[in-house]
Structure 1
Amino acid sequence: MSDIEAFRCETRAWLEANCPESMRTPMPENEMVWGGSQVEFVSQDQRLWFERMRDRGWFCPDWPIEYGGSGLNAEEAAVLEAEMRRLRCRPPQINLGIWMLGPLLLEHGSEEQKRRLLPPMARGEVRWCQGFSEPNAGSDLASLRTRARLESDHFVVDGTKIWTSYGDKSDWMYALVRTDPDAPKHQGISLLLIDMHAEGVSTAPIDLIGGKSSFCQVFFDGVRVARENLVGELNAGWALAKRLLQHERRAMSKFGEISLPTHFDLLSLLREYLPEPQGRAEQALHLRAIRCRMEEHAFELTQRRMAEEMRAGQDGSDLMAIMKLVHSEQEKEKFEVLLDVLGLRALGWEESSFTDQELALTRAWLGSFAQTIAGGSSEVQLNVIAKRVLGLPEAGKGEAK
């Protein structure tokens, strides 16, 4: 038996013995476990799964051991992912720091930052949020105005961020700030790590149409940030931001595996609400649903193939824009189909005559529109794909438009 097959057998046996049966089921949004200083569990099985994976070092299996991972190589990490998928294991925690900031620190952080920040992140002890967008700097991110002026050994931060996911529940933020207001807008930006409990930081939740408030506006009023929390060079944060956004697009496309698609199974709902289609309209709806599921499956296979290629050393970072675009548009289409499948049963809001699943689906349909904006709008992704993947010329520079 080869070493990798021996590892597969060992991994399969460990997961079988340590992943509770209830953690091998689709994961509703209200049962997601977010790592952080205030981690919460709705069941003992969630706690056990979290603690066992944490102690195994499998929150970040391919990170070096000295930074809190378990040091798996690319092939071993792929085996672990495949075995978890085979058993339908839920992710033991959701942690944006691990998905986005952690990989950036591994590439560009100082050795001190890696040893200070990565191990707590890898243990699920710190919850991170992202401070990029501002009220007047959305798609044109580089026009941000939150300012950080350097005073001796610390920065003083003033300004505001918006659409900050779970900013009111996070421990730390990785934020873009303007450190040289006189420089060209792409050259005067730095990446700072900000303690969300520091004096001068406040948050205000933003109500969304679906009735859930995961977004916040965050305000900074004279917040002091130690210079050691500057990532990379001063005024060189734009390149880091672009790299982090590549990790974000990958996370956004991956996030769908463990959130919306899993607890609204399109084909099972089709069988439940339209078991025997009558007439051309219902038959056409069946075909739409089947086509939608086939496209989802194709996306899942492509995602796995890309993950394998990236583990083998191929750079697929620019392709993440395609994956994010396709996934968010697929999700929106899926919920349109589901709404049509449920018909009048999709019109509930809080009424007791509707099931919890029907009420949740209606709200999730509204939330699906946000997926085409969060992490970069579909229009922005198309621009990224045109420029970085297809190599098309930019408009306004003398080339054909």
Structure 2
Amino acid sequence: MEFHFNPQDTTFRQTARTWLTTHLAQQPPDWERELGKGGWIGIGWPDGTYGNRRATLTQQVVWAEEYARSAAPTRTGHIGENLLAPTLIAHGTLAQRARFLPPIARGEELWCQGYSEPGAGSDLAGIRTVARRDGDTYRITGQKIWISLAHEAHWCFVLARTEQGSRRHHGLSFLLVPMDQPGRIEVRPIRQLTGTSEFNEVFFDDARALADHVVGGEGNGWAVAMSLLALERGVSTLAQQIGFVGELERVVALAVAGGAVADPVLRARLVQQWAELKVMRWNALRTLGSSGEVGAPSVAKLLWGGWHRRLGELAMAVRGAAATAGPRDWTQDDPYALDPLQHLFLFSRADTIYGGSDEIQRTIIAERVLGLPREVRVP
């Protein structure tokens, strides 16, 4: 793929950079709504009728890069904008798009993703959460786990079993569920190695969803869910890599300042990380220009998951024994305080597991790209 930024992209970059600089300096209280007012949510959606501005593919890349470089707040609307919205555009009804896309574009409604369960993580087809039709609603009972933003979300798209007695990927439906159901939906934060709680368990106890809020029709949830997962490694991957550049630069600066760069083994590892990050960017740009390339999302996940985990390990190796010490401003008020690189190391241990483990990604590549025999699954 020949990927170049044209003069219009350069103008767009300046517009994005100026807007970000101006509005970040103002410190708006609700950043998602501020993005919505500027038309910056959903710039990859078609026709721009939901309050979003339209942008070409290269301009979407420009926006992602500028957003990451500006050190703007972590997006809480990412799941609704980049996962649910394209899914509704592809599979939703006109009524569903009219109801849900405008508030996402305005930054008013936040979403979370109800896929994984204690017994159905990387092997998503093992879902046991049940949704029973009751007139014009569904009654949902079950448990989801590792749900990002569940503690802040207004809505959750839930993959549940709507056909009694169905197995594996058959009989599943994709439901849009309001989170504000006291007594029927309980969110429990999960404390991690980092001491923080970005993920949650969510319990559904006879929770309700409208029958009109099933996306793609009853029983077609697996196809809709797989379509959504393919969206996870799009333009946002390039923004993620801008963040990776900053992390790598901090590790390199630390190695230079502390003298660790004089160690030929550590120096070689630093160079290797730099080279692999370049390859990841080129691969991401290449796959953006190829519509629906089979296996591309799995390749991207394998690349960045392993790279980021190795970077965390390298950060600790560069610091040596000092990596085990707490920060200088440690106080009794925060006995588990971590500095950014310690947080990087601990959090990145899960990079090769969450979002589809490395083993699952390799199976997908083996079966769907290389055409190898399908893995034998025990009933």
Normalising by the smaller structure, the TM-score range is 0.7 to 0.9
- Using the TM superposition, give the Cα deviation of residue 252 of structure 1 relative to its aligned residue in structure 2, in angstroms: 7.5
Q: What is aligned with 2:280?
A: 299
TM-aligned CA distance change 1:126 to 1:247, over 3 Å: same
Tell me which amino acid in the other structure corresponds to 1:198: Q
Whole-Å Cα distance in 2 between the matches of residues 251 and 369 of structure 1?
A: 24
- Using the TM superposition, give the Cα deviation of residue 331 of structure 1 relative to its aligned residue in structure 2, in angstroms: 0.3
TM-score by length of 2: 0.86
8 Å Cα contact 2:61/2:235 also seen in 1: no
RMSD of aligned C-alpha atoms? Answer: 2.9
Whole-Å Cα distance in 2 between the matches of residues 100 and 154 of structure 1?
A: 24
- Using the TM superposition, give the Cα deviation of residue 259 of structure 1 relative to its aligned residue in structure 2, in angstroms: 4.6
Q: What is aligned with 1:364?
A: 344
In structure 1, the gaps of 5 or more residues are 24-42
Structure 1 residues 193-212: aligned runs within 5 Å: 193-199=176-182, 200-212=184-196
- Describe the SS at the equivalent of 2:180: coil
Q: What is aligned with 1:216?
A: 200
Pick one of 362, 375, 379 that aligns with 1:382.
362
Pick one of 98, 106, 113 that aligns with 1:115.
98
Q: What is aligned with 1:154?
A: 137
Q: What is aligned with 1:30?
A: none
- Using the TM superposition, give the Cα deviation of residue 55 of structure 1 relative to its aligned residue in structure 2, in angstroms: 2.9
Q: What is aligned with 2:51?
A: 68
Q: What is aligned with 1:267?
A: 252
Q: What is aligned with 2:267?
A: 286
* 2:83 is equivalent to residue 100 of structure 1: yes
- Using the TM superposition, give the Cα deviation of residue 16 of structure 1 relative to its aligned residue in structure 2, in angstroms: 4.3
Whole-Å Cα distance in 1 between the matches of residues 83 and 116 of structure 2?
A: 16
TM-aligned CA distance change 1:377 to 1:251, over 3 Å: farther
Whole-Å Cα distance in 2 between the matches of residues 249 and 79 of structure 1?
A: 17
- Describe the SS at the equivalent of 1:372: coil
Whole-Å Cα distance in 2 between the matches of residues 396 and 197 of structure 1?
A: 41
Pick one of 58, 63, 77 that aligns with 1:78.
58
- Using the TM superposition, give the Cα deviation of residue 46 of structure 1 relative to its aligned residue in structure 2, in angstroms: 5.8
Structure 1 residues 2-401: aligned runs within 5 Å: 5=6, 7-20=8-21, 44-45=26-27, 53-63=35-45, 64-72=47-55, 76-82=56-62, 85=65, 88-90=69-71, 93-94=75-76, 95-199=78-182, 200-250=184-234, 253-254=237-238, 256-257=240-241, 259=243, 261-263=245-247, 265=249, 266-274=251-259, 277=262, 282-307=263-288, 309-310=289-290, 314-316=291-293, 318-349=295-326, 352=329, 359-396=339-376
8 Å Cα contact 1:306/1:316 also seen in 2: yes
Tell me which amino acid in the other structure corresponds to 1:190: S
Q: What is aligned with 1:40?
A: none
Whole-Å Cα distance in 2 between the matches of residues 375 and 215 of structure 1?
A: 12
- Using the TM superposition, give the Cα deviation of residue 216 of structure 1 relative to its aligned residue in structure 2, in angstroms: 0.9
8 Å Cα contact 2:83/2:232 also seen in 1: yes
8 Å Cα contact 1:264/1:361 also seen in 2: no
- Using the TM superposition, give the Cα deviation of residue 304 of structure 1 relative to its aligned residue in structure 2, in angstroms: 2.1
In structure 2, the gaps of 5 or more residues are none
Identity of aligned residues (%): 30
Whole-Å Cα distance in 1 between the matches of residues 150 and 131 of structure 2?
A: 19
- Using the TM superposition, give the Cα deviation of residue 132 of structure 1 relative to its aligned residue in structure 2, in angstroms: 0.8
Mean CA deviation greater in 197-206 or 145-154: 197-206
Deviations 1:242-270 (A, max 9, x none): 11111224478456335555345232232
8 Å Cα contact 2:330/2:337 also seen in 1: no
Deviations 1:133-167 (A, max 9, x none): 11122232212111110011000111111111121
Deviations 1:53-102 (A, max 9, x none): 43342221121212332233xxx341352366368344663411112111
Deviations 1:312-367 (A, max 9, x none): xx32253111001110000011111111001122112466479x997221122111
Whole-Å Cα distance in 1 between the matches of residues 105 and 92 of structure 2?
A: 15
8 Å Cα contact 1:157/1:222 also seen in 2: yes
8 Å Cα contact 1:253/1:328 also seen in 2: no
